[in-house]
Amino acid sequence: MLPARTLVGTLFLVAAVSSAAVPAATAEDECDLPEEMVREIRSYAPVADKIIRFVTEGKFKGRTWNKLAGFVDKFGSRIAGSQNLENAIDFMLNELRKEGLDNVHGEEVTIPHWVRGRESAKLLEPRMQTLPILGLGGSIATPKEGITAELLVVDSFDELHHHKEQAKGKIVVFNENYTTYGESVRYRDYAAVEAAKLGGVATLVRSVTGFSIASPHTGWQDYDSNVTQIPTASITIEDAQMLSRMFKRGEKLKVRLYMEAKTLPPAKSRNTVAEIKGKEKADEVVLVSGHLDSWDVGQGAMDDGGGAFVSWLSLAAIRKLDLRPRRTLRAVLWTAEEEGLVGAASYVEKHKSEEGKLNFVMESDEGTFTPQGLVFSGSKTAGCILKEVLKLTASINATNFQLEKNVGSDITLWTSKGLPGASLMNANEKYFWFHHSAGDMMTVEEPRALDLCTALWAVSSYVMADLSFGIPRN
């Protein structure tokens, strides 16, 4: 297998950037669906209301929050390659079987196995101060004695190259301004490569977030096989700004950096799969998904425990109501998303022969705050169908429709090729405050919001799977 980020890196960045630049949605008057098609979709109003009431007011109320809280409190963080992730997958498979879902199984995936180890950074000159850090995924270690070096502090790649004569032998600090995640994440991804080209010995990168309470945020980064690898870690916004101010005053800054990070041989993991088998067109599939792995800090409750649990619990709610759509509803809980969509890439490759039977794909991986609707990628007709379906969720104010060229992260491997798909639109303005940090805890999640997300997911996936007509790709 190619290195994870080499395999799907371009799509991964496209997915991140898409949240920053959203084209306008198709105007209402551009939709001209046949009247019989519109009538059929609207006929689902009673079953949609039944699902919504059951999940938000009935016996299912609070279940998504309770199940997720029990899971993340039991297992905590679930980084790819860890035994803890595999234990969590075993637990999840057992839960899905207990729910009475069909065809519950794991599908083996070979994944990267990076381990953080102990790490620290300390400002030595002009004064002593501990700097909280989180090594970036895939980073190498420092020598056993650490690296002690002066700092070069820059605000951009352009500024780094402007001061290229000063970079040799320095720890390069990037204090990039945060604009959007899709734009600013390139510093986390490529800081080590750009600094190493100029002789830098390590990099410290300002966390990719717009808000901080002195908390570093981790994430994967990319080396270049033609450039010397150097250790790289994230630092807090506050420390990046402080070091920048001091450097611009002309003060000499020296830091000792110590990291034990290492990449072990590839490990085995599994994508987790469960279904409600279709009653008429069982070979056709509507797929809902989220990823079960997380980073090794916090609990991974938000990224992406919430998305994974909304996905499988939407099937559980449909099963509890004894509903069975025409097509198969399939939930896939991806493994090793954080290392570069590794589980999804494996699934797409193994199920290539079934691609023509995929009717619609959905993913929740940008928070499960109060839902607002769905973000869509696909043909005009498919978008118009989804708009009508979303009208069935008017009682929970989740009818918004947003058109993008690509959606989600894992499902970009399909939507980039024209398969219609959608991701959850939610009030996630604070998502990146907690993303990839120790703050990604169950405290971020709210019971009512999770109920609403589950209801939206269940209604939209069930109706898309049960319609008498397929969802057109062109």
Please answer whether residues 410 and 289 qualify as being in contact, where contact means their C-beta atoms are separated by less than 8 angstroms: yes
**Amino acid occupying residue 396:** I
Q: Where are the beta strands (DSSP E) in 83-141?
A: 102-115, 119-125, 129-130, 133-135
For 473, list phi and psi in degrees, rounded to 5. Answer: -90, -20
Burial category of 470 from C-beta neighbours within 10 Å (exposed 0-12, middle 13-18, buried 19 and up): middle
Question: What is d(CA 338, CA 342) in angstroms, rounded to the nearest whole number?
Answer: 8
**Strand 102-115, strand 254-259: pairing:** unpaired
DSSP H helices, 173-305, are 181-197, 237-248
CB 270 within 8 A of CB 403: no
DSSP 256-303: EEEE--EEEEEEEEEEEEEEE--SSEEEEEEEEEEE----SSS--III
Residues 417, 423, 428: CA angle, nearest 5 degrees: 140
How is residue 287 written in tokens?
A: 């797929």
101: nearest Cα among 268, 220, 279, 275:
275
Going across the sheet that includes 232-235, the strands are 129-130, 119-125, 254-259, 147-154, 171-174, 202-206, 232-235, 133-135
In which region does residue 397 sit, left (phi positive, over 0), alpha (psi from -120 to 50) or beta (all else)?
A: left
- Cβ 120 vs Cβ 155: under 8 Å: no
Q: What angle do CA 317, 319, 325 make, to 5 degrees?
A: 110
Residue 94 one-letter amino acid: N
Place of tokens 């190498």: 140
Q: Which amino acid is at 117?
A: G
The DSSP letter of residue 290 is: E
Structural contact between residues 201 and 142, judged by C-beta atoms closer than 8 angstroms:
no
Q: Give the CA radius of gyration of the chain.
A: 23
User: Is 150 designated active site?
Assistant: no
Residue located via tokens 């085995």: 268
Report which of 345, 329, 364 is spatially closest to residue 413, judged by C-alpha positions: 345
Torsion region of 207: left, alpha or beta (phi above 0 gives left; psi -120 to 50 gives alpha): beta
Residue from 176, 194, 337, 363 carrying the catalytic annotation: 337
Active site residues: 337
